[in-house]
């Protein structure tokens, strides 16, 4: 079995990393972003199997015949991005010059996650049908060491030291006060379903479910695990996205028969087309991660 497929299966099975759409689909591609949004999104990378990358003279390219979303599941043709590539396993973001933060289950439950995967910061669509195929080596980094990881119901995070400092990209600003409140507006950036980077805004805090977690109405999916969740006003990271509601709902297309479409819910997370027990997308509060790192004696 292809390692990337196995990794995707593991992420879904181990920690329920499915997500969903709330109200309208608010996802946008790289080429649709404003300059300020692109600046922030440059700090977000995709965890990509090294076998998909071909090293050249100062650049990387992708191997031929990359898998697409439609090859992963029998999708209805109204599913957005069905023909885009899916090579990402998880998402992560810079919190230091050579330090990246992601979800713990992306590291703990994927075999050889540090040695077999790279972090690609320019896995982007540069036009409606154009994937950026030639990537600068300054946008591709390897995992040197997993400084610390934890995968529990309360804390799900991993801190990774990259093989060298990241150039021309800044660490995202963090809210270190754990003061998120219900109703605050949010956005996120990452690689849903392994797709090229997507920016999803118009989300809100639905509830603070514990001292460690809150739920949000963000349009995210498996593959968004490890994405930063940011406050729309302050532009600071409030937490790390780790799990959520079911991605797909069974449907029927006269041309293709039984197929799957995106699970849709109201903006408040109610009345989903594929009901489940989740209350929204679960986000680990960023300050609780740093509190745990202090307890564990991990110095960044």
CATH code for the domain of 106: 2.40.10
Tell me, yes or no, if the pTM score tops 0.85. Answer: yes
Q: Does a structural domain hold residue 185?
A: no
Same structural domain for residues 216 and 149? no
Same structural domain for residues 154 and 272? no
Count of all residues that appear for the chain in the document: 300
pLDDT at 73: 83
Domain carrying residue 266: 203-291
Same structural domain for residues 243 and 127? no
Same structural domain for residues 122 and 243? no
pLDDT at 105: 96
pLDDT values of the chain reduced to their tens digit, one per residue, 300 residues: 344 444 444 344 333 345 568 878 889 999 999 999 999 999 999 999 999 999 999 999 999 999 999 888 888 877 899 999 999 999 999 999 999 999 999 999 888 999 999 999 999 999 999 999 999 999 999 999 999 999 999 999 999 999 999 999 999 999 988 788 999 999 999 999 999 999 999 999 999 989 999 999 999 998 999 999 999 999 999 999 998 878 888 888 888 789 988 888 888 878 888 777 677 899 999 999 999 999 999 988
Residues facing 102 on adjacent strands: 92, 158
Q: Using alpha carbons, list the distances in angstroms from residue 16 to 11, 209, 227, 266, 279.
A: 7, 17, 15, 21, 13
Q: Does a structural domain hold residue 98?
A: yes
pLDDT at 180: 86
User: In the numeric block, which tokens belong to residue 60?
Assistant: 């990387």
pLDDT at 11: 42
Measured CA to CA, the distance from residue 258 to residue 251 in angstroms comes to 6
Q: Which phi and psi (to 5°) does residue 251 adopt?
A: -145, -175
Q: Look at residues 162, 187, 217 and tell me which one is the last residue of a structural domain.
A: 162
pLDDT at 193: 93
Q: Using alpha carbons, list the distances in angstroms from residue 178 to 173, 192, 227, 288.
A: 14, 26, 18, 7
Q: Does a structural domain hold residue 61?
A: yes
């Amino acid at each position: 079995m292809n390692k990337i497929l196995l990794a995707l299966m593991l992420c879904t099975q181990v920690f329920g990393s499915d997500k969903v759409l709330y109200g309208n689909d608010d996802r946008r591609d790289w080429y649709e972003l404003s300059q300020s949004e692109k600046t922030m999104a440059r700090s977000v990378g995709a965890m990509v199997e090294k076998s998909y990358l071909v090293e050249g003279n100062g650049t990387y390219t992708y191997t031929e015949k990359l898998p697409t979303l439609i090859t992963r599941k029998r999708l209805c043709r109204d599913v957005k991005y069905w023909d885009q590539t899916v090579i990402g396993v998880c998402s992560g973001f810079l919190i230091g010059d050579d330090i990246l933060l992601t979800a713990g289950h992306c590291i703990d439950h994927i075999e050889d996650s540090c040695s077999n995967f790279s972090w690609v910061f320019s896995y982007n669509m540069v036009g409606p049908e154009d994937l950026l195929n030639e990537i600068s080596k300054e946008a591709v980094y390897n995992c040197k060491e997993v400084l610390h990881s934890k995968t529990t119901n309360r804390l799900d995070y991993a801190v990774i030291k990259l093989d060298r400092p990241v150039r021309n990209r800044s660490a995202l600003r963090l809210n270190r006060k754990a003061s998120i409140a219900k109703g605050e507006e949010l956005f996120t950036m990452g690689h849903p379903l392994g797709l090229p980077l997507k920016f999803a805004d118009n989300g809100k805090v639905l509830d603070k479910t514990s001292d460690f977690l809150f739920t949000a109405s963000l349009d995210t999916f498996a593959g968004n695990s490890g994405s930063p969740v940011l406050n729309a006003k302050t532009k600071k990271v409030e937490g790390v996205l780790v799990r959520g509601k079911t991605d797909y709902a069974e449907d029927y297309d006269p041309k293709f028969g039984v197929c799957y479409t995106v699970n849709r819910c109201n903006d408040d997370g109610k009345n989903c087309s594929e009901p489940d027990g989740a209350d929204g997308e679960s986000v680990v509060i960023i300050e609780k991660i740093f509190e745990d790192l202090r307890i564990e004696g991990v110095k960044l």
